[in-house]
Structure 1
């Protein structure tokens, strides 16, 4: 039987408990309201440390959470009274093999590190659109980014993972080695273990791209929707737009568009001529070093605030989402509280490449239209402010399409899991026809549901 003393004597990293002076710092998360008072935070140094932490937590009866970038607003990377396996302090190295066009990324790294290291070799990989997001959580949940139009999802560019599974074994998974685990991890989330290293494909990438933010006044809403209707069906692989309906810091409602074109400013302005011709009140677009692109939406996601969000699906016709009626309803909802900032963020990444893969290539839907994220942030959390944030999110969701959205945008997956709970139905809805196969993999690698913080799969 492993006691805390024997666990700590063999553990190479740092163990933090409530009696330590840096305990509060160890609980820090992107979303302040995602902090939970863990009994133990284990800052692991390697896969062997992860194995020790899993074994100790299981014997001690502690619920396990995995912390990579700490970007989950619903608390998936935190555990009240449990044990957090934290990869962010020591397992954050990134290494490029330029000859093979591969990048080796440890599970606690953030996307900025990936972008900065890869571009040194004229290469890039698909990564998140907020560059302080952790690599791990985004990757196992699917992974959309500005390069998805050209190269697909993060899971489509994953060639190998190192996973510490529920019994403490350290496994390498590829298409040929533990292929069932490799299939499950690429879209099945954190259901199967702790990924300590990812190996991703890289692609040739120009050093400068055309990108930035432009803003429109509310009276331009119909014209922006019409532009999207024209552009979206023929969007090219090198293009991408993120459109946000929101109130600015001054309280004024408006439409922000974050523009990406993997080419020159001249060609980018031609590609989006119809959008620029509408007459933005702000134009901050221009040539940008590639490694900065995944930071252009960071202002929507400052570290340390309180967050609540929910994902829904894009309508097939953009103007069904971006029109004066929906805009007015969105602004009405987000203006209902002076204490909250909110945005409805519509992600227009071309899906031809994503949806061209076989349906069974990974446990991820290949028929999605795209994603909308409804996000609310506030300071100084109270139960009343938290309830109001949820009210705002669901008021906006009521005027947008329904359907189980992108799993990484789920609002509430931290409720303690019980078989037959509502989360079981949400999990089935997310994975659809892949669910039975995932249940078999769960039974093999985690029959006791040790990993249960995100769309928990019930073993077959």
Structure 2
């Protein structure tokens, strides 16, 4: 393996940038980079707490490996780091929330990490119509910063992920029924291209189309200006309804009939569900946890909940609060288990659906439930079904962005969690995840399955994550060849 190494003497030469630790063995001398960085930049070497903090990932499956991490203090620090990596012919990889879990990241076996963790500003424009965000800002920071000013926007749902990580792949969120995807809120962005050029990309730019759905392949976004909106509803409510597995068919038939309604789900309604072990609900068997979320109310309307009550759940838990409570209610808040870096491999196998195919849901349950039950190595797994309102997504022309799957209404993904013990268990997990996805895919009637890039396993084809239309693939390849001909930005869901 080719190794990037750094002289220990950098500590005294780095022009004011903070170097933590000694990156020893002097194959490559990085003192020139140190001199070009701002005084607020930081450089972390392996074996230090700073290096560990910015490189520890949510999923340990096929982790990327780097030999030094630069934490830019300014946008220009990103420019200088990319230029230097290119000059020394070593790969580079950008980090935000370190939640990316595609196995393609494992192809990064040495090089420079670029952590955007110091670029986390939220600045609201004087007219209150837009906000400019630092490239490393986290979703919760955006939500909290805007909420304090009476504003909101579409962000990813999970509090511990970055804003831009999901956004560059399209990005689903609670408010998409009104405003579209996270990427649909972009107004302009500063982007460091593969050659180290800093450029502003907006609706007049050739790259604008590509950045909204395939942006990971085209540059490092150091800041982005987005549309924001007045808070329309402070009140939100949820019912968490837990069922035994024998109700699987009735649950998803009701979801089709009373919630999704052939893609016309009301903009104020969201339905989610998890298939998971929950010892409090059933100590011996997995259960189905079904969420019905509604905005603008203190209790979810019974027109939506009664059909599910009539099925005969194990428990019903109604709650009320604000938009800021949604992540905690659905167990994806900062302090929730899924947001902790616990050393698990967490591969996902996503597929978009137009509606639930009830027989396929039953078939998948009958395979999934015994696979995660009891002392199984996969007993921390979660099968996720995300049913956002899709009106705002449908309203935007499908050919206007690189995100290709605007006609879909549901996102399903088994997430097979396990403590890695070797290749045999890794293969078993992948086989289970792919088997479950294939069951749902066969029921769609589509020739090819359609996968959400931000949940992808990493072995999906370009057609499966960027759309199968020939013109889409050609446009992406042409842009890739023009802006990144050497494939420097190709570790995360590469265009091939």
Length-normalised TM-score, structure 1: 0.89
Matched, 1:80 2:120: no
Alignment partner, residue 445 of structure 2: none
Residues 61-110 of structure 1: CA deviation (Å, up to 9, x unaligned): 2222111111112266773212111102x011222237333222212111
Matched, 1:326 2:364: yes
Q: d(CA) in 1 for partners of 2:122 and 2:382?
A: 33
Q: CA deviation at 1:34?
A: 5.1
Q: d(CA) in 1 for partners of 2:485 and 2:228?
A: 35
Equivalent residue for 1:409, pick from 442, 455, 468: 455
Instruction: Please state whether the residue corresponding to 1:273 is helix, strand or coil.
Output: helix
Q: d(CA) in 1 for partners of 2:99 and 2:469?
A: 22
Does the aligned pair in 1 maintain the 2:463–2:473 contact within 8 Å?
Answer: no
Change (3 A) 1:319 1:426: closer
Q: CA deviation at 1:378?
A: 2.0
Counting only pairs closer than 5 Å after superposition, residues 254-333 of structure 1 correspond to structure 2 as: 254-295=287-328, 296-298=330-332, 299=336, 301-305=338-342, 306=344, 307-323=346-362, 325-333=363-371
My pick for the range that moved more, 314-323 or 194-203, is 314-323
Instruction: Please state whether the residue corresponding to 1:332 is helix, strand or coil.
Output: helix
Residues 332-387 of structure 1: CA deviation (Å, up to 9, x unaligned): 33339622222221111122321222122111222234311110112355434333
Equivalent residue for 1:396, pick from 420, 428, 436: 436
Does the aligned pair in 1 maintain the 2:451–2:464 contact within 8 Å?
Answer: no
Q: d(CA) in 1 for partners of 2:30 and 2:388?
A: 48
Q: CA deviation at 1:321?
A: 4.2
Which of structures 1 and 2 has the bigger CA Rg?
2
Q: CA deviation at 1:432?
A: 5.0
Equivalent residue for 1:159, pick from 187, 191, 205: 187
Alignment partner, residue 123 of structure 2: 95
Does the aligned pair in 2 maintain the 1:315–1:401 contact within 8 Å?
Answer: no
Equivalent residue for 1:362, pick from 394, 401, 410: 401
Matched, 1:143 2:171: yes
CA RMSD in angstroms comes to: 2.5
Does the aligned pair in 1 maintain the 2:64–2:105 contact within 8 Å?
Answer: no
Counting only pairs closer than 5 Å after superposition, residues 110-121 of structure 1 correspond to structure 2 as: 110-121=138-149
Matched, 1:338 2:371: no
Instruction: Please state whether the residue corresponding to 1:377 is helix, strand or coil.
Output: coil
Aligned length: 445
Change (3 A) 1:339 1:326: closer
Instruction: Please state whether the residue corresponding to 1:116 is helix, strand or coil.
Output: helix
Instruction: Please state whether the residue corresponding to 2:355 is helix, strand or coil.
Output: coil
Does the aligned pair in 2 maintain the 1:104–1:199 contact within 8 Å?
Answer: yes
My pick for the range that moved more, 29-38 or 356-365, is 29-38
Residues 222-278 of structure 1: CA deviation (Å, up to 9, x unaligned): 221221121211420111111222222545211111222112133544433322343
Change (3 A) 1:146 1:289: same
Alignment partner, residue 240 of structure 1: 270
Change (3 A) 1:424 1:274: closer
Q: d(CA) in 2 for partners of 1:424 and 1:237?
A: 31
Does the aligned pair in 2 maintain the 1:139–1:154 contact within 8 Å?
Answer: yes
Counting only pairs closer than 5 Å after superposition, residues 7-18 of structure 1 correspond to structure 2 as: 7-12=33-38, 13-18=41-46
Instruction: Please state whether the residue corresponding to 1:180 is helix, strand or coil.
Output: coil
Does the aligned pair in 1 maintain the 2:299–2:318 contact within 8 Å?
Answer: no
Instruction: Please state whether the residue corresponding to 1:132 is helix, strand or coil.
Output: coil
Alignment partner, residue 190 of structure 1: 216
Q: CA deviation at 1:197?
A: 1.2
Q: d(CA) in 2 for partners of 1:129 and 1:161?
A: 22
Does the aligned pair in 1 maintain the 2:299–2:319 contact within 8 Å?
Answer: no
Residues 397-416 of structure 1: CA deviation (Å, up to 9, x unaligned): 23211503111111026xxx
Q: Which structure 1 residue ranges, 5 or more long, are not aligned?
A: 414-421
Does the aligned pair in 2 maintain the 1:146–1:260 contact within 8 Å?
Answer: no
Instruction: Please state whether the residue corresponding to 1:447 is helix, strand or coil.
Output: coil
Q: d(CA) in 1 for partners of 2:157 and 2:338?
A: 10
Does the aligned pair in 2 maintain the 1:30–1:71 contact within 8 Å?
Answer: yes
Does the aligned pair in 1 maintain the 2:94–2:114 contact within 8 Å?
Answer: yes
Instruction: Please state whether the residue corresponding to 1:243 is helix, strand or coil.
Output: strand
Change (3 A) 1:237 1:187: same
Equivalent residue for 1:353, pick from 392, 411, 416: 392
Length-normalised TM-score, structure 2: 0.83
Alignment partner, residue 372 of structure 1: 412
Q: d(CA) in 2 for partners of 1:142 and 1:286?
A: 30
Q: d(CA) in 2 for partners of 1:352 and 1:112?
A: 24
Q: CA deviation at 1:300?
A: 6.6
Instruction: Please state whether the residue corresponding to 2:313 is helix, strand or coil.
Output: coil
Q: Which structure 2 residue ranges, 5 or more long, are not aligned?
A: 1-27, 443-448
Change (3 A) 1:268 1:92: farther
